Amino acid sequence: AKSVGNIMGNFHPHGDFSIYDAMVRMSQDWKNREILVEMHGNNGSMDGDPPAAMRYTEARLSEIAGYLLQDI
């Protein structure tokens, strides 16, 4: 929830669901070759189960995301 609030306050003031949904998609290894966000908690399933509410999950950038963003 902290990450979503930070993004919403600084970059995208149009609602928290779209931000959280993008973070969840970047953490799902069945949708991406390399995950950019590591999530702790339920981030959905390949069978279509929805992810947990943002208050029940924690997220951080993955190692490869840090590498991709290091020179920005």
Catalytic residue from among 18, 50, 56, 66: 56
10 Å Cβ neighbour count for 21? 12
Is 56 a known active-site residue? Answer: yes
Per DSSP, helices labelled H in the chain are 2-10, 16-27, 63-69
Distance CA 70, CA 32 (A): 21
Which sequence positions are flagged as catalytic?
Answer: 56
